[in-house]
Amino acid sequence: MTTARKIKEFVSEQYPYRTEMHAHTKPVSGCSEVPPEQLIEIYKNLGYHGIVITNHFFMGDVFSDPSRSKEEKLRWYLAGYEEAKKAGDACGLHVMLGAELRFNENFNDYLLYGVDYEILSDAFDYLEQGLSVYREKGMPKRGVLLQAHPFRSRMELADPSLLDGIETLNMHPGHNSAVGLAIAYAKENKFPITVAGSDFHHINRGHEGVAALRTKVMPEDSFALANLLKQGDYVLELGGEAIVFP
């Protein structure tokens, strides 16, 4: 066995649990081709232990539809997670709730971990007001908010003081997320939290399972995941092979 392989095995054994941090289901994410059940099947077959459903949370067609109540909109949103959770429970894949927020102020996306219905319900009220007001007044302290793929086109760099970190390694094969720049930017700003995500949307395009968070224990839920990110005891994995230190 080569030294590189031994090192990989050694680190993998220390951090055995693999979680997808960034995944979208249809129809809640209109850009995704993958219904929740299929998503779970794919990740189960790839040997993942967990997945965070991070559907787009923004003023799109459904959220801005005046004929639906806020509660209906939130129920519609959560259905994607709930269907995934049900399928995950049936096959032994741990499904957690997250969200990818976009405020009306620009095209930036923010991954939010440590969420539940109430927290999303509050976040809904801040979509119009923007990141700084949300961070100041709306976001619970125990959550973790990361700017997703900050160097992708149309993104603006958010004020670092409003972030817990960034998604350095967004591996979506259809976008150039300039990951080298993102890593340099994270170092420069000393962001305590950096993560990797597949930003999974598409089937049969080399998109599934291209990134993972590896941990010593499987976080029980979205809140435990946020805590774990704050504690920093994790490594990242790319392409089911390479271990990357955050």
**Region near Zn ion per CB under 5 A, out of 67-75, 99-107, 185-193, 207-215:** 99-107
Question: Of 2-31, which residues contact Zn ion (CB under 5 A)?
Answer: 31
Q: How far is the CB of 25 from Zn ion (least distance, A)?
A: 10
CB 92 → Zn ion: shortest distance, Å?
Answer: 25
Closer to Zn ion by CB, 83 or 100: give it: 100
Q: Name the minimum Å distance from CB 23 to Zn ion.
A: 8
Tell me, by CB under 5 A, how many residues bind Zn ion: 3
The answer to the question of residue 208 lying near Zn ion (CB under 5 A) is: no
Angle of CA points 49, 51, 53, to nearest 5°: 165
The token pair that represents 196 in the structure block: 């990797």
Residue 14 CA to residue 191 CA, distance in Å, equals 24
For residue 148, the minimal CB distance to Zn ion (Å) is 6
**Quick one: which of 169, 164, 168 has its CA closest to 192?**
164
**Binding segment for Zn ion among 91-99, 192-200, 208-216, 227-235 (CB under 5 A)?**
192-200
Residue from 20, 83, 167, 199 touching Zn ion (CB under 5 A): that is 199
- With the C-alpha atoms ordered 151, 153, 156, 162, is the resulting torsion angle positive or negative? negative
Cα–Cα distance for residue pair 54/144, rounded to 1 Å: 13
Say how many Å lie between the first and final Cα of the chain, rounded. 26
Question: In the bound complex, what is the minimum distance in angstroms from residue 116's beta carbon to Zn ion?
Answer: 20
The residue among 15 and 24 lying less far from Zn ion, judged by its C-beta, is: 24
Q: What whole-number distance in Å separates Cα of residue 115 and Cα of residue 110?
A: 13
Q: Which stretch binds Zn ion (CB under 5 A): 67-75, 97-105, 177-185, 215-223?
A: 97-105
CB of 111 to Zn ion, least distance (A): 8
201-237 per-residue burial string, b: 16 or more CB within 10 A, e: under 16? bbeeeebbbbbbbbbeebbeebbebbebbbeeebbbb
Tell me the torsion sign for CA atoms 19, 22, 26, 27.
Answer: positive
Q: Which residue is nearest to Zn ion (CB)?
A: 31
- Contacting positions for Zn ion (CB under 5 A): 31, 100, 199
